[in-house]
Structure 1
Amino acid sequence: MERELYREMYEQEKAHWWFRAKRAILLDIIERYRPARARPRFLDLGSGTGAMMEDLAPLGETVGMDFSADAVEYATGRGAGTVLQGGIPEDVGRLEGRFDVVLMSDLLEHLDDDRAALEGTIPLIADGGILVVTVPAYQWLYAPRDAYHHHRRRYSRRGLKRLLIQAGYQIELLSYYNTILFPPAAAARILSKIRRAEPGPDLSVPPGPLNRLAERVFASERHLLGRVPLPFGLSLIAVARPLGFGPGLPPRREKAD
């Protein structure tokens, strides 16, 4: 991604409703499914400008990796943990030890070989550890802004399930999310495709009341994920473990059936 986009992301992701709500959802899922170790190790692959690492730092040791030197510079500046520059999966062998939680948040869609990335991550996951993945949903929503963000593809629930299984994982949670705001957001994307709108940076923070409302609405889905079926959404989230790995230490909280 362009340096301008990383700069804007660094400046806005602590305030923008979408980033804040997404991190709240991820933190809830991680706390719910991770093994109950006193000081877990977290690995954020595709760590971007480091806001998620900053949120995870109070819970344990955090390590990040991103291919972009600009992203690594911004993330390192947050002081939340060690950040390495490297490609995924080709450089993950440089990472030391194993991790209780490996996060791939909106990463796979950027990679030429998403299956190789998932396969290459397995040796990094500790016994009882988890992989948490988020990706954009529905190829029919692929729009100019996807190309601007260097997305190779979007995913269906069935396609992500197949990909995880083929890569050697057993799935504990797989769901659409960003469901409540799906209708207006999907309509906006379809219109941008029809109009062939020229994409550009789109991270400006809305006015305060609107920003807070959108954050509350989106973040509220953390109470539904894994408990209430969400049949559609702008994105997908999955929690998985390598095949043959038991749950290890018990999860932080009892999971809903």
Structure 2
Amino acid sequence: MSPDAYLQMAATETTHWWFRARRDILRALLVGLGLPAGARILEIGSGTGGNLGMLEAFGAVSALEMDDTARAIANRRTGWRFDIRAGRCPDDVPFGDQRFDLICFFDCLEHIEDDAAALRRVSDYLAPGGAIVVTVPAYQWLWSAHDTFLHHYRRYDRAALERCARAADCMIVRSSYFNTLLFPLAVVARTVDRLLNRARSSGDALGPRAVNAALYRIFRTERGWLPKHSLPFGVSLFAVLTKRSEPR
């Protein structure tokens, strides 16, 4: 991601409807995983730290972040209480012989050129019975200025994510699209952005307070459905993966 993208994330991730509702949905999904008490958790690509507090409710959290500025912001915001290490996936994952019950790629995998290599590398850090939770942007045909600004390599559908998992010697236990209720609005917004040749997505800004609150309420309603059910389409896609083979 560009420096501007990290600064925008830092400025909006506590208040923007998308970040807030996604955290609510992820929290509900993680509750449904039945993690062990005091689970060992690793977030890959933790950015400016917006998910770390949510993850802390489930156990001891470590993180990997390549950007110095993002790490500094995350450490400052969280009072340095998390083990946030410098590194880059898949080439530099500096956690030695540590093993984790949960490894998270929250809208991170699309930033990595060799996504299968990243999953394969990180899966070696799974404890027996551990899981990887991935969220990614859905549908390549929804590509917009937002993806370019964030330095995405791709968007995914279920088949593409399944191919990536197989190449990484992982298995998808379950998956679903989400951000479904706002999907029509997103399609219209991305189409308008392309027609007007906007350099930045119209959804990047925080927007008026009432609109932000309304979008948050709509998006977060999916948290009651997704832990046990799937949605057929959406702006995003999540998957729960396990390692297919024994540790090498």
**What TM-score results when the alignment is normalised by the length of structure 1?**
0.89
More moved, 222-231 vs 24-33: 222-231
Give the drift of 1:102: 0.2
CA offsets, 1:83-137, max 9 Å, x none?
1111101111445511111000111111110000010011111111110001111
The equivalences for 1:63-102 within 5 A come to 63-77=62-76, 78-79=78-79, 80-102=81-103
**Which position in structure 2 is the counterpart of 1:3?**
3
Change (3 A) 1:223 1:244: farther
User: Following the alignment from structure 1 to structure 2, what is the Cα–Cα distance between the partners of residues 199 and 209?
Assistant: 22
Residue 248 of structure 1 is matched in structure 2 by: none
User: Over residues 148-205 of structure 1, what are the superposed CA-to-partner deviations in whole Å (9 max), with x where a residue is unaligned?
Assistant: 1101111111111121122112222111110000001111112212222112795432
Alignment of 1:37-186 (within 5 A): 37-77=36-76, 78-79=78-79, 80-186=81-187
Report what 1:230 is aligned to: 231
- Cα gap change, 1:96 to 1:52, in 2 (>3 Å): farther
- Alpha-carbon separation, structure 2, partners of 1:3 and 1:225: 33
For each residue in 1:233-254, what CA deviation from the matched residue of structure 2 results, as whole angstroms up to 9, or x when unmatched?
Answer: 1110000111157xxxxxxxxx
| Percent of aligned pairs with the same amino acid | 37
Cα-to-partner distance string for 1:208-234 (whole Å, 9 max, x where unaligned): 332222112111112222533311111
The aligned counterpart of 1:32 is: 32
Distance of aligned partners of 1:244 and 1:112 in 2 relative to their CA distance in 1, 3 Å threshold: closer
Alignment check: 8 A CA contact 1:137 1:155 kept: yes
Counterpart Cα distance in 1 of 2:201 and 2:218: 26
AA at the equivalent of 1:44:
E
Query: After the TM superposition, which of the residue ranges 3-12 and 48-57 deviates more from structure 2?
Result: 3-12
Q: In structure 2, what is the equivalent of residue 16 of structure 1?
A: 16
* Structure 1 portions without partners, runs of 5+: 246-257
CA distance in 1, matches of 2:159, 2:201: 31
- 232-241 or 7-16, larger mean C-alpha shift: 7-16
In angstroms, what is the RMSD of aligned CA positions?
Answer: 1.8
Shift of 1:12: 1.4
CA distance in structure 2 between the partners assigned to 1:153 and 1:190 by the alignment: 18
Post-superposition shift, 1:6?
1.5
Number of aligned residue pairs: 244
Q: Would you say the 8 A contact 1:34–1:129 is kept in 2?
A: no
Deviations 1:49-96 (A, max 9, x none): 001012222331111111111111111112341111111011114455
* Contact preservation (8 Å) 1:12, 1:203: no
Q: Is the 8 A contact 1:34 1:100 kept in 2?
A: no
User: How far apart, in 2, do the equivalents of 1:229 and 1:202 lie?
Assistant: 25
Gaps of 5+ in 2: none
Moved more, 236-245 or 199-208: 199-208
Contact 1:176–1:237 (8 Å) recurs in 2: yes
- Say if 2:145 and 2:201, in contact at 8 Å, map to a contact too: no
- Segment drifting more, 115-124 vs 195-204: 195-204
Contact residue 57 and residue 81 of structure 1 kept, 8 A: no
Q: Paired residue for 2:195?
A: 194
Of stretches 174-183 and 77-86 in structure 1, the one that deviates more from structure 2 is 77-86
TM-score (norm 2): 0.92
